[in-house]
Structure 1
Amino acid sequence: MKDYYGLLGVAPDASHELIKTAYRRKAAQFHPDRNPDADAAGKFRAVQEAYETLADVERRKAYDETRRSSLIDDPLAVAREIWSNYLGNMQK
């Protein structure tokens, strides 16, 4: 499961405004017109997907519930995903 909070660099209890601000910052950073890296377009799409999910109240609620159950069902995989996103955000 993708860690949308980690992709945007916000906490799971972040407000809608904080999520929106983080999205705009990441979208500007990875927009293909502004970032010449080969993987910029893929990162931009991932950031868009994260924002679309977290900005919608119902989709965010469903995502959070799935995230909680995934953590219970396969904690090691989820922990690795969260940790890799955390380290990725620290290096940027």
Structure 2
Amino acid sequence: MDSDFFDYLNTPCSHLTSYYDLLGVDPNSSTEQIETEFRFKAREFHPDKNICTDSTTIFQNLSRAREVLTDPQLRKHYDTWLASGIHIPFDKWLTMRSQFHTCMHWSMASGNQQKMLLTDAADCQSNRASRSCGSGKTKASASDLLNLFRAYKI
């Protein structure tokens, strides 16, 4: 991993301003409201109309906020990132998210989940029946247990 990834993790979040706060809108605002607020702020901070040295940076941030909040898919990702409270800037998180797809192979549809629970209960009953008296050990070998573990049965 990049060394700057760890730098982001150790950096306080105080420098990260919410796009909603930057534009002065509520997270429930419509696209039209976001566009209206952007136009108002853009007139105020446009580099050609404002002699402030930071106006270019502010205008770029406003443009990025508008781009993210008016695109439904990006806005959904942004809201997910914002709710996570992670210390990585949104653009870095978005890049990493597209590079590393999280695989939740253990999740399944509700119909299959019921079957899995019934299968696990039957396996549990058979394991209890296979125990020898007094020893407390099952007849299953270590490799059998490992196979059951890998198959998410124990």
TM bracket (short chain): 0.7 to 0.9
* Number of residues of Structure 1 aligned to a counterpart in Structure 2: 72
Aligned equivalent of 1:24: 39
Aligned equivalent of 2:11: none
Matches of 2:64 and 2:79 in 1, distance apart?
15
Gaps of 5+ in 2: 1-15, 88-154
* Bigger radius of gyration among the two: 2
The AA in structure 2 aligned to 1:31 is H
Alignment of 1:4 onto 2:19: yes
Greater share of residues in helix:
1
> Could you tell me how far 1:51 is from its partner in structure 2?
0.3
> Alignment identity in percent?
42
Matches of 1:38 and 1:31 in 2, distance apart?
11
Matches of 1:2 and 1:37 in 2, distance apart?
20
Runs of at least 4 residues off by over 3 Å: none
Gaps of 5+ in 1: 75-92
> Could you tell me how far 1:13 is from its partner in structure 2?
0.4
1:21-78 deviation digits (Å, cap 9, x = unpaired): 00111111100000011111110000001000001000000000110111xx57xxxx
For the residue of structure 2 that corresponds to 1:12, the secondary structure is coil
**Two-structure CA RMSD over aligned residues (Å):** 1.3
